[in-house]
Amino acid sequence: MNPRACLLAAMAAATPLLAAGAAQEPGRPNIVFILVDDLGFADVGFNGSVYYETPNIDRLAKSGLVLENAYMYPTCSPSRTALATGKQSFRTGVYTVPVLEQGDDQENLFSRWTVGDEHPMYSQPLAAAGYQSIFIGKWHLVGPYPQEELDGPWPRKEQLGQPDPWDFSWVGDHRKKFMKYYPEGRGYLRNVAGTYRGDPALEVGGYQSETGGYFAPFSNPFMDERNPKDTWLTDHLTTVAIDFMKEHKDGPFLVDLHYYTVHAPLRARSPELLEKYLAKPGDPRTGQGLEPGKRHEHEAIYASMIESLDDNVGRIVEFLDRNGLRDNTVIVFTSDNGQSGKRNDTLRGSKGYIYEGGIRVPTFVNWPGKVAPRRTGTPVHAVDFFPTFMEMAGIDYQGLLDGQSFAPLFAGDDPPALRDRPLFWQLSSQWKQGTCSVIRKGDFKLIQFLATGELELYDLRKDPREEHNIAGRHPETTERLLGELTAWRKANQVPLPPNAVVGE
């Protein structure tokens, strides 16, 4: 037997839950789900960055399954909603971050902010199966005024708004009336730092404040700051995670560590790290670290935040190793959308765009002995994480889900049922680009803009930077994918903005 076949045979023997039709494994694994905010595909060493430094993250990636084509929506809210509920945007009505929307009620179905309790989250079946769970960091699955969303007309005539960051008049209602929209209403034992907001800048001045919310005092009403152990938010959230795992060592536990970093406002972790990255040569392949002047300082600050993220991932691994928890803990690492305003010459677009730079994110699953270390190009979507968590935990979940478990990839192969399936996106409200429906299947990605009917087709294998729209040159492929996309919309009765010119 060759070494790979030998490894697979050993894994097959050791992983009954992954075999077709197998019974549940008696010991459910602990799950640590690290979700980083706005971390770009190429902002980690394991995807080739030589400017940003992520040695701890890279080690985990190398000994795990790297998903090279892991996709989110282009912004926080729809991605986080899809991750949590396993449902597409058109079911939850969460299409983008409401305060970012551009245009009027003809051009948009204005997005919801609050995820309705008719949409269960993966944390609920996990809690029912005995998981002790904590939510740490950015929640963003509730709007500042849930009652306004519930009482108002639908679709709305105006987009939803938010208060000034330092206006805490909403807190009282959220602690009582709207708690069901918070982690505690979703099966978690505790919520630390999760609010409606998409960034940590809650003190007077918001983004312009000195700390940006990344340095203590954090001013977060959902965080106990009486005995702060750390003065830097990313360190503090990691300490909370470690304390929780200490408390619940006997497991199984779910730690959702959804860091606020590396979202704006950017703040340098330390003057020393800032100096280090200001002096470091840039990377000619990605363009990272090569920006001039003020933008270079921006990149160096960002790099210091990434290094701090990496240090903290290292702390988690060290804790698990020291406590003999590593083998029964699966670590899932991803980001909620592409990089925001940084440079990456290897992909088109950034946060807000449906191009690869906006939706393809750095992702891996590490589970010693259960996940064969390798890289795969099989595409996965945000809606696939919920069913994957169910399979990892051996839960037979019966609710409606739009995705598919990608746990079959763990054994070392790419089953055609996963490799060749289509992935879909529906963006019915707009920010940086027009509303659109999207299908990715095989090597191809087709974007249909709803207000104009314009089509863009890209061959991602030959043209990873999406420089050549080949819709006109490949009418057969275009028609075939458009047919699948249209059939998907029709089968799901996907609502479209009033100005859409595409019919079914």
For Ca ion, the binding residues (CB under 5 A) are 37-38, 76, 336-337
Contacts within 8 Å (CB) and 24+ apart, 201-207: 201/165, 201/265, 202/165, 202/166, 203/165, 203/166, 204/166, 205/166, 206/164, 206/165, 206/166, 206/265, 207/264, 207/265
Is beta strand 329-335 parallel, antiparallel or unpaired with respect to 30-36?
Answer: parallel
Residue 319 Cβ vs Ca ion, minimum distance, rounded to whole Å: 26
Q: State which residue, 283 or 336, has the beta carbon closest to Ca ion.
A: 336
Q: Of the candidates 11, 94, 82, 120, which has an alpha carbon nearest to the alpha carbon of residue 336?
A: 82
Q: Of the candidates 41, 72, 69, 65, which has an alpha carbon nearest to the alpha carbon of residue 379?
A: 69
The secondary structure element, H or E, covering residue 323 is none
Please say whether the beta carbons of 349 and 358 come within 8 A. yes
Residue 102 Cβ vs Ca ion, minimum distance, rounded to whole Å: 18
Residue 300 Cβ vs Ca ion, minimum distance, rounded to whole Å: 21
- DSSP structural state of residue 22: P
Say which residue the tokens 């959230």 belong to. Answer: 237
Q: State which residue, 97 or 455, has the beta carbon closest to Ca ion.
A: 97
Please say whether the beta carbons of 267 and 212 come within 8 A. yes
Residue 462 Cβ vs Ca ion, minimum distance, rounded to whole Å: 29
Residue 94 Cβ vs Ca ion, minimum distance, rounded to whole Å: 13
Q: State which residue, 80 or 174, has the beta carbon closest to Ca ion.
A: 80
Q: State which residue, 310 or 336, has the beta carbon closest to Ca ion.
A: 336
Specify which residues 257 forms β-bridges with. Answer: 34, 136
Residue 381 Cβ vs Ca ion, minimum distance, rounded to whole Å: 16
Q: State which residue, 340 or 405, has the beta carbon closest to Ca ion.
A: 340
Q: State which residue, 18 or 361, has the beta carbon closest to Ca ion.
A: 361
The secondary structure element, H or E, covering residue 137 is strand 132-137
Is beta strand 190-192 parallel, antiparallel or unpaired with respect to 132-137?
Answer: parallel
Which residue of this chain has its Cβ atom nearest to Ca ion in the complex? Answer: 76
Q: State which residue, 256 or 336, has the beta carbon closest to Ca ion.
A: 336
Residue 97 Cβ vs Ca ion, minimum distance, rounded to whole Å: 8
Instruction: State the burial class of residue 46 (Cβ atoms within 10 Å of its Cβ: 0-12, 13-18, 19+).
Output: buried
Write the single-letter amino acid at 434. Answer: G
Q: State which residue, 334 or 346, has the beta carbon closest to Ca ion.
A: 334
Residue 92 Cβ vs Ca ion, minimum distance, rounded to whole Å: 17
Q: State which residue, 337 or 437, has the beta carbon closest to Ca ion.
A: 337
Please say whether the beta carbons of 82 and 359 come within 8 A. no
Count of residues in the chain? 504
Residue 157 Cβ vs Ca ion, minimum distance, rounded to whole Å: 27
Residue 74 Cβ vs Ca ion, minimum distance, rounded to whole Å: 9
Please say whether the beta carbons of 360 and 41 come within 8 A. yes
Question: Cα–Cα distance between 49 and 56 in angstroms, integer?
Answer: 14
Quote the distance between the C-alpha of residue 212 and its chain's center. 22
Write the single-letter amino acid at 297. Answer: E
Q: State which residue, 162 or 239, has the beta carbon closest to Ca ion.
A: 162
DSSP H helical ranges for 259-411: 271-279, 293-322, 356-359, 385-392
